[in-house]
Structure 1
Amino acid sequence: MSTNLSTIAGVRIPSTAQAATELVRDAETELLYHHSRRVFLFGALTGDRRGVNYDAELLYIGAMFHDISLMDIYASAEERFEVDGANAARNFLQSYGLAERDVDDVWDSIALHTTPGIPKHKRATVALVTAGVEMDVLGIGFEEFTSKQRNDVFACHPRGLRFKQGILSSFCMGTIRKPNTTFGNIKADVLSKTDPTYKRTDFTEAVLSSKWTT
């Protein structure tokens, strides 16, 4: 089935976002591409259900770029993958001359999408990207979507039979070469289960072993 439909599950895909779609489709694996589109759709459906006024184009960019730095071409050697993805989106948007606040909202939506408890208090773009991620990866809010909405989304962007294992593998491969960036975030859980050489940095030990004497 075509993935270029203009409306999916009642959500209109922003026609102005074609360049972003092509960029991400070329850069990402099939699994990540379909995941990113589902994040937009579930985020938009969440916003519609809650009566949230959101900018569909900004939400789309945040959703499409949120995992792009799991791919080597967009990954830095030292930054968290969320920051790399946020920077890639910022570079993309700045070439179109968007307002600084809009660019910042997209940046925050990507940088914070793995930080539970904070995005929901931010502006719509930030809150809804995380809502889409949480639905697609963790099933948070699953029952708040109708079975038709879920089926319509999956008909265009299928999860596949091994999505859970596939997304965890993607998270691992995107962070395994820079394990220090997982300190204090959920990717530490991923590497602790997938990389036998990984040693989690403990915050308590970091405090107690600091150079301060008291």
Structure 2
Amino acid sequence: MRDHRPERSVDPPDSALCRSAADLLRRTAPAPLVAHCHRSYALGAALITNRCEAYDAEILFVAAALHDLGLTAAYGHVDAHGFEHVGAAVAADLLRVHGGDEQRATLVRDAVAMHLELTTGQDPRPEVAALHVGAAADVLGIGLDRLPDGLLDDVLQRWPRVGFTAWLSAAMQAEAQRRPASTAGRYVREFGFLQMLAAAEVPA
């Protein structure tokens, strides 16, 4: 299903699937992460419209809502190579519970599982690319200059960044210690991710 979303929309589709994903996020994640996931959806949706005319907004929202669940206390204990694979499995299962076919389940799984990879922003599947660029915009400020005028202010008013940088820094340090061979572990250890996060020029 392809559903074109207006450029200025900061809200997900009003569907049972999206409401279920939002509820799961609220029940399991701290407030800074809840806000980050909503910002990632809104920013990713705005940025991907520069490249494509239509995309599956439900898939993008479910992926955005659940992409960091593996960093939470509720899911951090799950055995996986990296936190992104935890969220990927949860997102795919949620699609199936709501009657989604395997094609859509695979799409949401890939969007979450691949969101940390540096090349994912060029993935031909808009839902996969959109989560990557939306999360990167929110975390590191990448691509914020390509947003429509006023959209970032709208997003930050709706979903403030209060406490997010400190929460993510602590969560990524814990992930790197728990799973040193994971993608997050390599980013922290080899690429100075925590320093990049602290230095990111992202409006508060």
Residue-by-residue CA offset, 1:7-66 (whole Å, 9 max, x unaligned): 994344211111110110110010110000000000111122333310110000010111
1:79 deviates by 2.2
- The code of the aligned residue for 2:104 comes to D
TM-score (norm 2): 0.81
Which residue number corresponds to residue 23 of structure 1? 24
For the pair 1:145 / 2:142, whether they are aligned, the reply is: no
Query: Which has the greater radius of gyration?
Result: 1
Q: Secondary structure at the match of 1:125?
A: helix
Residue-by-residue CA offset, 1:107-138 (whole Å, 9 max, x unaligned): 11111111011342231110101010111011
Which residue number corresponds to residue 82 of structure 1? 84
* 1:53-202 equivalence runs, <5 A: 53-75=54-76, 76-160=78-162, 162-182=163-183, 185-189=186-190
Which residue number corresponds to residue 198 of structure 1? none
TM-score (norm 1): 0.78
* 1:7-22 equivalence runs, <5 A: 9-16=8-15, 17-22=18-23
> Structure 1: how far apart are the matches of 2:193 and 2:34?
25
User: Is the 2:95–2:105 Cα contact (8 Å) retained in structure 1?
Assistant: yes
Which residue number corresponds to residue 205 of structure 1? none
User: Is the 2:95–2:104 Cα contact (8 Å) retained in structure 1?
Assistant: no
Q: Secondary structure at the match of 1:150?
A: helix
- Count of equivalent residues: 187
> Structure 2: how far apart are the matches of 1:192 and 1:157?
23
- Superposed CA RMSD in Å reads 2.5
User: After alignment, is 56-65 or 12-21 more displaced?
Assistant: 12-21
For the pair 1:50 / 2:29, whether they are aligned, the reply is: no
Gaps of 5+ in 2: 1-5, 196-204
> Structure 1: how far apart are the matches of 2:184 and 2:158?
36
User: Is the 1:182–1:188 Cα contact (8 Å) retained in structure 2?
Assistant: no
Q: 1:183 to 1:12 in 2, by over 3 A?
A: closer
User: Is the 1:70–1:170 Cα contact (8 Å) retained in structure 2?
Assistant: yes
